[in-house]
Structure 1
Amino acid sequence: MKAVILAGGLGTRLQPYTFFIPKPMLPLGNKPLLEYLVEWLIKSKKIDQIVICVSYLHRSIEDYFEDGSRFGIEIKYSRSDRPLATAGQLKTAANHLEDSFVCLYGDSIYEFPLNEMIENHIKDKAFISMALTRYKTNLKYGFIELDGSEKKLVTDWKEKPEISGLINIGCYVFEPEFLKIIPSSVSFGMDEAVRSCIKNKKKVNSYIVKDGSFMDIGDKKSYLEAYKQYVKRLGKI
């Protein structure tokens, strides 16, 4: 099976770190973030080729990974000349994808059994499988509830309530027909594409991962927290 890594974003929320380094190449411990993703895909023993979708500062990614032989896997590249959002970026790799494939975002760390997710997808004959995890947070403000009358009387005040639910962590298994839903050469989000599949009654499976199996590197705060964790893993030098 092939895997696609979406690594073409501008990394706006991580500026100024990303002025000269694309977000997937930011260091975590002694390696760039993207190298951990490549190693994780290889570890699954289900992936025999990786396609990296690149755009912003693409040469630093291509020069580092080259054809993948140094890492023990074949790596190809799909390049766009401008950001196309997540699904639009994936569409640029369509020529490489003839069968079921894995797709993941290049700004996260995953530590769950990908092989199990792939096997479930095939067994259930799903059109899409999405990796999800449980998440909870406290809202920043107090919420006020009103009654249903014309006077709109206040009936309750919930101060900074906690909400919880399942969130998408940006790792999917897709059938190749999914690519037909995505328009070419336009910015198109993965949420739009998946919602279209749900609307058209396609089978969208969930795969819920354990807490601690996912780390987002989306902004400066989360990046610094992840960086500290990986430096700690290295031990004393």
Structure 2
Amino acid sequence: MSTTNILNNDQLFLFSVKAVILAGGLGTRLQPYTFFIPKPMLPLGNKPLLEYLVEWLIKSKKINEVIICVSYLHRSIEDYFEDGTRFGINIKYSRSDRPLATAGQLKTAATHLKEPFVCLYGDSVYEFPLDKMIENHFKDKAFISMALSRYKTNLKYGFIELSGHENLLVSEWKEKPEISGLINIGCYVFEPEFLDLIPVSTSFGMDEAVRESIKSKKKVKSFIVEEGSFMDIGDKKSYLEAYKLYVKKLGKI
């Protein structure tokens, strides 16, 4: 039986969970920076990206253990964080011998995850109340809780509207229109049964597993965070922007 279904409201505020950080990707969009350093260990200011994630999890007060899923250049992560004593939290590792995509990476930690847990990607920085997201997950008795952020952007090209079924006349030209919506920011709370949807030792995306949950009528809840609560560091442009921001912050200390 899921822990979500047996906790009462008073117990929710005392309950703590494990957190999994997915840190095994190749970081191909950040080459050549990632030829010798795994993406989660790239520096931001005076510490690696992954250290900010560990500190954020500790700050939440709801996390009792961190499991880091590693693969590519795993030694640099394991040697830096060791067992977590230096950071004040227990850290374990789940290692795969090859990249397995996001859900596939998560599956490697399945033996450690018998209760609801937090999962986050190792290439972002988060600044939102994780405690609240965890509490809402239990209160809502959700199968999955997904952190989402509002996002808007202008399309690269002009969009052409057509009218008429046969002549296909051009009726409107929208030059580089703005689109907006909610995006997934790579932070979740999962019930342990979610792992049953992920095949073993297979490259499998988180989107595939979540879509399967929706198809199976599982309760997938959203947790919308404020703008500016999340920073993606997935490519060279976003990394350089984040690096400059953190160097600037460091200069104010």
Residue 26 of structure 2: aligned partner = 10
Give the match's secondary structure for 1:233: helix
Residue 56 of structure 1: aligned partner = 72
The CA distance in 2 between the partners of 1:149 and 1:111, in whole Å, is 50
* TM-score for both structures, normalised by structure 1: 0.99
Residue 213 of structure 1: aligned partner = 229
Give the match's secondary structure for 1:167: strand
In the TM superposition, residue 235 of structure 1 has moved relative to its aligned partner by: 1.3
Q: 1:236 to 1:210 in 2, by over 3 A?
A: closer
Aligned: 1:196 with 2:212: yes
1:176 pairs with 188, 192, 214, which one?
A: 192
2:127 pairs with 91, 111, 115, which one?
A: 111
The CA distance in 2 between the partners of 1:102 and 1:172, in whole Å, is 6
Corresponding pairs, count: 237
Unaligned 5+ runs, structure 1: none
In the TM superposition, residue 236 of structure 1 has moved relative to its aligned partner by: 6.1
Aligned: 1:90 with 2:117: no
Aligned: 1:225 with 2:241: yes
In the TM superposition, residue 149 of structure 1 has moved relative to its aligned partner by: 1.5
Letter in structure 2 aligned against 1:212: G
Sequence identity of aligned pairs in percent? 85
1:77 pairs with 69, 77, 93, which one?
A: 93
The CA distance in 1 between the partners of 2:165 and 2:199, in whole Å, is 47
The runs of 4+ residues in structure 1 deviating greater than 3 Å are: none
In the TM superposition, residue 188 of structure 1 has moved relative to its aligned partner by: 0.2
Unaligned 5+ runs, structure 2: 1-16
The CA distance in 2 between the partners of 1:86 and 1:4, in whole Å, is 11
Once the two structures are superposed, residues 148-183 of structure 1 have per-residue CA deviations (whole angstroms, 9 ceiling, x without a partner) of 421111111100000000000000000000000000
